Amino acid sequence: MPKVVDAEERRVGLTDAAARLIARAGIGAATMRDVAAEAGVTTGALTHYFADKRELLLRTFEASLDGRRAKRPERDPADAALSLHDALAGALPIDDDRRRHWMVTVAFCAQAAGDSELAAAQRDAYREFRAHVTALLSRIAPGDAPQELAERLIAQVDGVAMQALFDPESWPAARQLAALAHALETANLHALSAVPGLD
Amino acid sequence: MPKVVDAEERRVGLTDAAARLIARAGIGAATMRDVAAEAGVTTGALTHYFADKRELLLRTFEASLDGRRAKRPERDPADAALSLHDALAGALPIDDDRRRHWMVTVAFCAQAAGDSELAAAQRDAYREFRAHVTALLSRIAPGDAPQELAERLIAQVDGVAMQALFDPESWPAARQLAALAHALETANLHALSAVPGLD
DNA sequence: CCGTTTGCGGAACAGTTGTTATATATTAGC
DNA sequence: GCTAATATATAACAACTGTTCCGCAAACGG
């Protein structure tokens, strides 16, 4: 057997480079050569781990999703209300990580037009997020039509995110979090009276 | 003087072709040649009306915005509540026109990463929309913090739109409009008790 | 009816793209 | 240490990209 290398770890390094490039300079700047250079390798390594550019982009999107999901249980001490707040705050571009994820998502959406497989990936990502939020909600306020409530909360957060992405001056992190707090308060979730850590 | 031609009308035809192409096959399919072909001309005509591709894209986005704005006063009989509903419904991808506008917007956003001028255009478009909705709101329920309310309503609608774009099965037009109706109802706008034409 | 200006088709260009092929280095098992 | 399999650099390729340029057609002003 030859040189041993964790293939999955390599892929992460490459998709990470792609995500960085996309967030910094847009999808147009994410050429094979430039992604490889950003990762400190050449196209030979890239093509070794991804069949083509389309797969690289798909994996980059999925890796970005995984990265977000990985941060979920960071502070998930069976406090569903806090978990709910964190889950929704995860969709707000309030730091570099989350902003990068949004840029990757937008780039991916732009590419998903006319590509049904990519479109399905984006759709499924949303459905998974909806299911996650719905599950949290039914733990907090069961019987309150959690599905529709989840949709509304997610819509609220995503709408703020879309505005904040290209107008960060109008939307500092505090304002985005305030919008989230307001949405949670008016969501007639009497179970969570006040979410700490908001100021 | 030579052959007389309405230059602005020509530009509309070209940006329209670009928008159609972007909505159908994504930003990647919007090459100079293909846009020209879609409009039934050649690159010679395209370069005659746009300095470069970047300007074509910018103008395509602005033309798409203008197209949306043009539909505003269609039924604006001094009924601010109805105008508000229509303005917000204009941001929902519930027909081919509005869906196309959203696809153009997403493509434009993807290109606006790392291009501050395009980013500013996107930001200003949002600000203008916010101002429009705010003005309508202050006509309906003055003194109710119309700015923040407008932001929330727009966020709600845009969030639904983002989900609906790639999951039309989960979001038929009726469901999107129902979400809008719910948002309007719970916006403690006691002035507009019921918006007709929703079913 | 003619000169001049514009509209636009079409070809050519240089650079870049994704992709493929080749060569070299690296390392695990025997 | 030899072999074989993998990892990756490098180079080559053909297709395509945005852009430039040339030439002809059209039509207004005189």
CA distance A156 to chain B (A): 5
Which pLDDT score is estimated for B193? 45
Q: Scanning the structure block, which residue is given the tokens 């894209």?
A: B57
Ranking A41-50, A75-84, A120-129, B18-27 by mean pLDDT, the lowest is: A75-84
Beta carbon of B4 within 7 Å of strand D?
yes
Beta carbon of B43 within 7 Å of strand D?
yes
Collect all residues of chain A within an 8 Å Cβ-Cβ radius of residue B58.
none
Q: Spell out the residues 6+ positions from residue A126 whose beta carbon is closer than 8 angstroms to its own.
A: A154, B163, B166, B167
Q: Predicted confidence band at B188 (pLDDT cuts at 50, 70, 90)?
A: low
Q: A16 in helix, strand or coil?
A: helix
CA distance A2 to chain B (A): 39
- Chain D positions with a protein C-beta closer than 7 Å: 4-12, 16-23, 25-29
Distances (CA, A) of B45 to A102, B10, B19, B48, B50: 37, 9, 17, 5, 9
Quick: pLDDT tens for A59-74: 999 999 999 999 987 6
Collect all residues of chain B within an 8 Å Cβ-Cβ radius of residue A134.
none
Q: Which of B185, B187, B160, B188 is nearest to B174 (CA)?
A: B160
Indicate whether B114 pLDDT > 60.
Answer: yes
CA of B45 to C1' of C8 (A): 5
Collect all residues of chain A within an 8 Å Cβ-Cβ radius of residue B29.
114
Q: Around A54, how many Cα atoms within 13 Å sit in the side-chain half-sphere?
A: 10
Q: How many CB atoms lie within 10 A of CB A177?
A: 20
CA of B98 to C1' of C14 (A): 40
Quick: pLDDT tens for B52-86: 999 999 999 999 999 999 998 766 667 889 999 99
CB B117 within 8 A of CB A26: no
Q: Show the tokens assigned to B8.
A: 């602005």
Q: Which residues 73-132 on chain B approach chain A with CB closer than 8 angstroms?
A: 103, 106-107, 109-115, 119, 122-123, 126-127, 130
Q: Using only the alpha carbons of chain A, give its radius of gyration.
A: 19
CA distance A6 to chain B (A): 32
The whole-model pTM stands at 0.92
Beta carbon of A40 within 7 Å of strand C?
no
CB B61 within 8 A of CB B119: no
Q: Which of B56, B49, B69 is nearest to B118 (CA)?
A: B56
Beta carbon of A175 within 7 Å of strand C?
no
Indicate whether B190 pLDDT > 70.
Answer: no
Which pLDDT score is estimated for B191? 47
Indicate whether A191 pLDDT > 50.
Answer: no
Distances (CA, A) of B108 to B45, B57, B100, B125: 23, 7, 12, 12
Indicate whether A157 pLDDT > 50.
Answer: yes
B5 vs A: CB within 8 A: no
Q: Supply the DSSP string of chain B, one letter for each residue.
A: ------HHHHHHHHHHHHHHHHHHH-GGG--HHHHHHHHTS-HHHHHHH-SSHHHHHHHHHHHHHHHHHHTGGGG-SS-HHHHHHHHHHTTS--SHHHHHHHHHHHHHHHHHTT-HHHHHHHHHHHHHHHHHHHHHHHHHSTTS-HHHHHHHHHHHHHHHHHHHHT-TTT--HHHHHHHHHHHHHTTT-TT----SS--
Beta carbon of A11 within 7 Å of strand D?
no
Q: Which of A57, A31, A54 is nearest to A42 (CA)?
A: A31
* DSSP3 helix / strand / coil % (chain A, rounded to 5): 70, 0, 30
Q: Show the tokens assigned to A24.
A: 């910094």
CA of A42: nucleotide with nearest C1': D9
Beta carbon of A144 within 7 Å of strand C?
no
Residue of chain B whose alpha carbon sits nearest to that of A27: B110
Q: Scanning the structure block, which residue is given the tokens 């003194």?
A: B143
CA dihedral of B86, B71, B74, B165, whole degrees rounded to 10: -40
Which pLDDT score is estimated for B180? 97
Q: Show the tokens assigned to B103.
A: 């696809």
Q: Predicted confidence band at A86 (pLDDT cuts at 50, 70, 90)?
A: very high
